[in-house]
Amino acid sequence: MHKLVQIISLLVFVSALGLFAGAGCGKSNAGFNSADGKVFDTAPAEIKQAWQDVLAADAGTNYVETLGLLNKLKRMPLSEEQSTVVTKKFSDFDQRLFSAAATNDPSAVQALQVMRTRH
């Protein structure tokens, strides 16, 4: 029961962070789709590779790695369109992360703990 309370607390905390991060941006955070990634086709090599790394990590269940790569990509000099896609990808990732954490997926729970300690 204690672990469930921890997970729920983490979910509430991370959800609140997401709301604060998205507040005031004035843009829709509609769901991510694979066509969104086309904005990286003409990106500089380093940004394009970072995007490919995010997609590869996200295809697995290593939520900690995916989180780290998304944060790294977000800090890069992105175009407005690329930034929007990264924000959508974060939203999509968060939804899957929360769902996995609710089922006590160890990698998801660990990623939420990492998020909590970084904020």
Flag whether 112 is in a domain. yes
Helix (H, G, I), strand (E, B) or coil at 3: helix
Flag whether 73 is in a domain. yes
pLDDT tens for 58-92 read 998 889 999 999 999 999 999 999 999 999 999 99
Q: What is residue 6's predicted lDDT score, i.e. its pLDDT?
A: 58
Q: What is residue 102's predicted lDDT score, i.e. its pLDDT?
A: 93
Q: What is residue 28's predicted lDDT score, i.e. its pLDDT?
A: 39
Whether 14 contacts 98, CB under 8 Å: yes
Q: What is residue 19's predicted lDDT score, i.e. its pLDDT?
A: 40
Q: What is residue 11's predicted lDDT score, i.e. its pLDDT?
A: 55
Flag whether 26 is in a domain. no
Q: Which domain holds residue 100?
A: 2-15+43-118
Q: What is residue 35's predicted lDDT score, i.e. its pLDDT?
A: 81
Q: What is residue 24's predicted lDDT score, i.e. its pLDDT?
A: 36
Flag whether 30 is in a domain. no
The Cα 100–Cα 108 span in angstroms is 6
The Cα 36–Cα 86 span in angstroms is 9
Q: What is the DSSP letter of 25?
A: -
The Cα 19–Cα 1 span in angstroms is 27
Half-sphere exposure of residue 66: CA atoms within 13 angstroms, side-chain side: 23
Q: Which segments in the chain show pLDDT lower than 50?
A: 16-30
Q: What is residue 2's predicted lDDT score, i.e. its pLDDT?
A: 56
Domain tally, the chain: 1
